[in-house]
Amino acid sequence: MSGNVRNLRDSFLHFVADNLPAASVHPLRFDSARPQYNSLQIGRINIAFHDATYSTMYPTCQFATLDILHTAELDALDLEESLVALLQLGGSTELTDYSGSTPVQVSNSLIYWNPLQIKFRTVASVDYFHRSAVIELWTRYINVNPLPRPLFLNGASGVTTFDTTLTGNINVNLQSLSTGELYTFIWAQDNIGGHTVTLPSSMKGATPPSLTPNAVTVQTFLQRSDGTLDAIGPATYN
């Protein structure tokens, strides 16, 4: 198996399992020596990977199927809600190599997904309540200088909306903002995605932009007299 794809699988499984300790994650894969890995299990978050795209120059892509089975419908929905809430927190996690005795983070690399495209459906069954979703995962290896470039956003002349297309990592600097004004920040990933935005500490309640290719993240802030920018609500994703 390609190192890129194996790291993607392992990183996503650990992300879910480590952040939902009360849930039990069951990775599905064919293993003749361990037949329990070959089938869905009740009362667990079943995760299967398929349709991988192999590449060292572009984001490695792989689909994952998430299946929740339970003998009680409400218990299944509680587990689903916890999983969706986790996956909607930013839409990314660090890419880590778990092949050795000690996990090692892969330098400047992330695994990411679209947090707004997580949609479960009911699968008919007479034996248990079954919910299923498919999520598309990407891994991006960044082989360029990882230091973010500075981006200066100036609120002079009444500018209140800052619309930026991300083609690389950026470090945001804000200038000439007016007390009591609302400022909207729009971050649009290019068709590669994975670009990060480092915001000033004065921006309170900021949501990290989605790393998904072509994703657009929008969030509005209020400029306070003490120099802070307070988010007036969570970011929206398109």
Q: What's the pLDDT at 100? A: 86
Q: What's the pLDDT at 1? A: 41
pLDDT tens-place values along the chain, 238 residues long:
446 778 889 999 999 999 998 889 999 988 888 888 889 999 999 999 988 777 655 557 889 999 999 999 999 999 999 999 999 887 888 889 998 889 888 866 788 898 888 999 999 999 999 999 999 998 865 544 456 778 888 888 788 999 999 988 899 999 889 999 999 999 999 888 888 899 999 999 999 899 988 899 999 999 999 999 999 999 998 8
Q: Are residues 192 and 123 in the same domain?
A: no
Q: How many CB atoms lie within 10 A of CB 28?
A: 19
Choosing from 124, 141, 158, the residue where a domain stops is: 141
Q: What's the pLDDT at 17? A: 94
Size (the chain), residues: 238
**CATH number of the domain enclosing 195:** 2.60.120
In which domain, by residue range, is 68 found?
3-141
Quick one: tokens of 236? 């929206």
Q: What's the pLDDT at 57? A: 52
Q: Are residues 190 and 80 in the same domain?
A: no
- Expressed in angstroms, the distance from the first to the final Cα of the chain is 33
Q: Are residues 51 and 166 in the same domain?
A: no
Choosing from 113, 141, 169, the residue where a domain stops is: 141
Quick one: tokens of 222? 């209020």
Q: Quick one: DSSP state of residue 21?
A: T
CB 193 within 8 A of CB 215: yes
Choosing from 141, 167, 200, the residue where a domain stops is: 141
- How many domains are contained in the chain? 2
Q: Are residues 188 and 133 in the same domain?
A: no
Q: What's the pLDDT at 111? A: 87
Q: Are residues 157 and 221 in the same domain?
A: yes
Q: Are residues 191 and 127 in the same domain?
A: no
Q: Are residues 111 and 74 in the same domain?
A: yes
Q: Are residues 80 and 10 in the same domain?
A: yes
